[in-house]
A and B are shown apart, each in its own frame.
Chain A
Amino acid sequence: MEVTLKVFRYNPEQDKKPHYEKYKIEAEPTDRVLDLLEYVKGYIDGTLSFRRSCAHGVCGSDAMRINGLNRLACKVLVQDLKSKKITVEPILGLRVIKDLIVDMEPFFEHYRSVLPYLINDEAPPKKERLQSIDERERFDDTTKCILCAACTTSCPSFWANERYVGPAAIVAAHRFIYDSRDRGAAERLQILNDQFGVYRCHTIFNCTVACPREIQVTQAIGEVKKAIATGKLD
C-alpha cells in the first residue's frame, strides 16, 4: 500500500524555521513507522535525522509524535494507525536540535533530581536482602520505565513550565519510594513536595496514554501525592 509520510524537518545549519516534507512510500501494513523513516533516510534523503537503536521498544530512543500522539516509532505499525497519512513530529516541550531530535538534557536533569538510586546505608547481608513477592510486586510497574520521555513531553503542565519535574521523574522516584529495601523515601517526598513537584500534575492522563510500557503513570503520581499528604507509604 502507498502511504504519505509527512515529516517535521528542521536543519539549524540551513533553515530559518521548521517546515514539513512529504514522502510517498510503498509500505507493508506490518511495517514499523521506524522502518518508513529508515527508508526515507536510506533511499530518499540522507539528511533526515532521528534517534533509534533497539527497534523493538526497549531502548527508548525513538519517542516522537505520530499522528499527534507520543509513541515509539519502532512500536507503531502502519496498520495500527488506520490511516494512509502519517505525520511524524518531534516530541513537545524540549528544544528541537534537528528534525526529530530534541535536547534530552533537561529531561535527564529532572530524572537525576529525584535521587533515582537505592538509598540504604545499612551494611548489606552476605547474600541478598530478602524481599517478599508482595513487596517486590508493590513497585513492579514503575521498574519498567525506559526513560523515553513520551510521558513527560505529552504533559500540558510540562509544556506550560519546563521546570516541572514531570511524570518520568516521578515514576523513577516511585520505583524507589515503594521499594522495601530503600530508606530514602522521606528525602524524595520532600523533593517532590515542591512547587515544581507532584502538585503540577492535574491528572490529565496524557502520560498514561503515552507510555509505551503501559505503566500506570498517573496512578503512580497519585500514590506519591498521597504519600506526601498522609506521610504514610501503603
Chain B
Amino acid sequence: MEKTYQFDVVVVGAGGAGLMAALYASRTANTAVLSKLYPTRSHTGAAQGGVGAALGSEEEDHPKWHTYDTVKGSDYLGDQDAIEFLCNEAIDAVYELEHMGLPFSRTPEGRIAQRPFGGHTNNITGKPVTRACYAADRTGHMILQTLYQQCIKNNVNFYDEYHVVDVLIVDGAAAGVVAIELSTGEFHVFHAKAVIFATGGHGRIWEVTSNAYAYSGDGVAITLRRGIPAEDMEFFQFHPTGIYRLGILITEGVRGEGGVLLNDKGERFMDHYAPTVKDLASRDVVSRAMYLETQAGRGIGGKRYMYLDVTPETVNKYAALDGRKRPDGTSYVTTAEEILSKLPDIVDFCRTYLGVDPVSQPMPVQPTAHYAMGGIPTNMYGEVVIDENNTVMPGMYAAGEVACVSVHGANRLGTNSLLDIIVFGKYSGLKGAEFANGVDFQPLPENPADFARAQFEALLKEGGTEKASDIATEMKSVMNDHVGVFRTEEGMQNALQVIQELKERFKHVQVGDHGKIFNTDILNTWELGNLLDLAEVTTVSALARRESRGAHAREDYPKRDDQDWMKHTLAWLRDDDVELRYKPVTLTRFEPKERVY
C-alpha cells in the first residue's frame, strides 16, 4: 500500500513555470513541488538568449508592438487576447525577476540590457528592435537559479526525484497525482485540491534535438491517458541553429549580436528569404530557408548544414552593409572581446564539442527540434480546458511548454518561452491556490495508484523481445525524416505506420533492471512510451492539417488556408486511434495577412 500525502496544491515539475507557480501558490496555500529531477537540473536552465519584454531600455518599444510581432510570428494561430495579456504582463514580470535578484546584463546606464531577436521589430520601420532582456547567453540558467533561490528563501516544500506518472481525476476534477520515488521505487499518492502540470516539452521524439533527455512529454502523455485532449500538436519548432549532428542549441542571440548564416558559396542567403530583417526572421522561416538551401545543393561541402558566422570581420562587414547603429547613434562595430563577453557559453560549447572557436571560425549548424507550441489546452489563467467549448476542468492547471494557451500558435518567437513560463507560471499558481482555498478535498478513488502500477507491471513482465533503445532510435529517425521542417502526405503516412508498428513492438519491450532503487531503466522505458504516444498524436494532427502555417510546412499544401484551417486542433488518444476535433482561434485586433519578414 502506498503512502499518501495531502497538499492544497501540488506542482509537477520544477523548471521556471513550476517554480513560479510554487512561489505564488505557496503564499496562500499549502503547496508541494514534485520533480523527477533536482530543480536546478530542469531544462529552463538551457535557455540562452533572453526573455522578451518591451522595456525600451535603449530604444522605443511598446507592448502592443510585442503583441503584434507575436501574433504575426504565430502565423495568426495564436489567441490574440492571450497574447496581448502575455505581452502586457511581460514588463512587470521581468522587473519582478530583477527584484528577486536575477543578474541581468546591464546597459551603460545600469538598466537591464536588451538585444535583438528573431521576429521582434519596430512596428513602424519593420527593423529589428532590442527586446530580449538577457544575462549573457545564460538567461534561462539565471531564471532557474533565481527562482529556485526564492523558493529556498520562502521554504517551499520540494519532493526532489519524485517522478509523477499519473494524475487522479474524480468526477471530472483533479484530485491529486501518483509519483514514484526514485531512491526507493515506491509509489506515493499526493492528494490535492489543485494540480499544476509544468512538466516541459517532448523534443526527444526527434533525432536531432536541443532538448534534454528529461523532455519526454510526461505531462501531455499522462493527461491524454486520462481523457484530456492535446492541442495543436502538429506545431513543433525546429530552431535553425543547432550544432551539426549534436543538435545542441546555438542561441538566436548570436544573430542578434550580428552573426549571419552563410551557404557553401559564402552567400548570406537570408537576404533572399527575408529581405527586411534577414537573419532575424522568425525561426520557422529561417529553418525552411536552410532546408531549401541544402536541397539546392548549397549546404557546406554539399552536406546538410550551413555556417553561422559571428567572427568580428563578418559581423562588421554585414553590419556596415545593413547600416546598423548602436543605441548612441555610432556605427555597429564589434570585437572578439565583446563577442566573448556576450556569448561565453556558445564559445565554450563550440570549443568543447567541435574544436571550433567561434571568435575566429564559423560554426556548422542545422535545424534542431526545439520547442512544442502544442500541449495541454489551457486558458490564459492556466486552467486546463478540455473541449472545443473551452470547458474548464476544476482543479487542473498547466503552464509552460507543456501547456498550449495558445500564445505561440503555429510558431513561437524567440524569448517568448521564458516569458511564457514566468507569466503563466505565476497565474496558474495564483489561480490554483485561489481554487484550492475555496473547496474541500475530494475523496480519493479506491486504489488510486493502480492505473499507474499496471503500466509499470506491464513493462516488467518476463519474456519481452524488444529493446527500448532500438524502438527509440527508429522513432527518432522516422520523425526526423518525415515529420520535421518540411512534410508531405506520403512521408507522414509512412511515419504514422512506423510509429504504430513501434507502439505494437513496445508492448513486448524487455526492461533489464527489475530492482527498486533508482531503476532509471524502467522509468526511461516508460518515458519512451510517452514519446511514442506523442509522436502518434503529432503525426495524426499534422496529416489532417492540409495547409502550411508556421512550423507546419507541407510541400503538398504550401499555402496557408485561413478559410478552412484558422482553427486549433484538439486530439484525443483513443484505444486504437486518435480522434481530432477543432476549436476557433480568438481574434481581437489583428486581421490575418500574409506573413513577410
A84 interface residue per 8 A CB criterion: no
Additional A-B contacts beyond A42-B469, A115-B153, A130-B110 (8; CB < 8 A): A11-B515, A54-B43, A98-B518, A124-B95, A133-B106, A133-B108, A135-B110, A143-B135
In the complex, what's the smallest C-beta–C-beta distance from A180 to chain B, in angstroms? 10
B112 touches A128 (CB 8 A): yes
The 5 closest A-B pairs by CB, nearest first: A46-B512, A118-B101, A42-B469, A130-B110, A117-B149
A136 touches B103 (CB 8 A): yes
A56 touches B353 (CB 8 A): yes
A47 interface residue per 8 A CB criterion: yes
B45 touches A143 (CB 8 A): no
In the complex, what's the smallest C-beta–C-beta distance from B129 to chain A, in angstroms? 18
The interface residues of chain A, by DSSP majority, are classed as loop
CA distance in complex: A103, B43 (Å): 22
Q: Which residue of B lies closest to A75 (CB)?
A: B352
CA distance in complex: A218, B263 (Å): 44
A179 interface residue per 8 A CB criterion: yes
Interface 1/0 per residue, A50-84 and B, CB below 8 Å: 11111111111100000000000001010000000
Contact partner of A181 (CB less than 8 A), chosen from B101, B511, B519, B521, is B101
A136 touches B515 (CB 8 A): no
Chain B residues lying within 8 Å of A49, measured Cβ to Cβ, are 513, 518-521
Binding site for B on A (CB under 8 A): 11-14, 30, 41-43, 45-47, 49-61, 75, 77, 97-99, 101, 104, 108, 112, 115-118, 120, 124, 126-133, 135-136, 139-140, 143-147, 175-176, 179, 181-182, 214
**A75, A144, A176, most chain B CB atoms within 10 A:** A144
Q: Which residue of B lies closest to A144 (CB)?
A: B138
CA distance in complex: A167, B339 (Å): 29
CA distance in complex: A11, B212 (Å): 26
A46 touches B213 (CB 8 A): no
A55 touches B212 (CB 8 A): yes
B103 touches A97 (CB 8 A): no
Size bracket, chain B contacts: 35 or more
- A117 touching B105 in the complex, CB below 8 Å, given contacts A128-B95, A128-B112: no
CA distance in complex: A75, B55 (Å): 36
Chain A residues lying within 8 Å of B112, measured Cβ to Cβ, are 128
Interface residues of B in 336-359 (CB under 8 A from A): 345, 348-349, 352-353
- A116 touching B149 in the complex, CB below 8 Å, given contacts A41-B521, A97-B518, A132-B106: yes
CA distance in complex: A21, B53 (Å): 52
Binding site for A on B (CB under 8 A): 37-38, 40-43, 45-46, 55, 95, 98-101, 103-112, 135-136, 138, 141-142, 145-146, 149-150, 152-153, 183, 212-214, 246, 248, 345, 348-349, 352-353, 467-469, 511-513, 515-521
CA distance in complex: A45, B519 (Å): 12
Chain A residues lying within 8 Å of B213, measured Cβ to Cβ, are 52-55
**B45, B108, B110, B248, most chain A CB atoms within 10 A:** B110
Q: Which residue of B lies closest to A52 (CB)?
A: B213
B46 touches A54 (CB 8 A): yes
B111 touches A130 (CB 8 A): yes
CA distance in complex: A132, B108 (Å): 7
In the complex, what's the smallest C-beta–C-beta distance from A191 to chain B, in angstroms? 14
B43 touches A53 (CB 8 A): yes
A42 touches B467 (CB 8 A): yes
CA distance in complex: A199, B41 (Å): 30
Chain A residues lying within 8 Å of B43, measured Cβ to Cβ, are 53-54, 59
A128 touches B40 (CB 8 A): no
CA distance in complex: A179, B517 (Å): 41
A131 touches B110 (CB 8 A): yes
B98 touches A128 (CB 8 A): yes
Chain A residues lying within 8 Å of B100, measured Cβ to Cβ, are 118
Chain A residues lying within 8 Å of B248, measured Cβ to Cβ, are 56
B142 touches A143 (CB 8 A): yes
> What are 18 inter-chain pairs, A to B, with CB distance below 8 A?
A12-B517, A47-B513, A50-B520, A54-B41, A55-B212, A56-B349, A58-B45, A59-B40, A59-B212, A60-B41, A77-B352, A99-B518, A112-B152, A128-B95, A132-B106, A132-B110, A143-B142, A146-B141
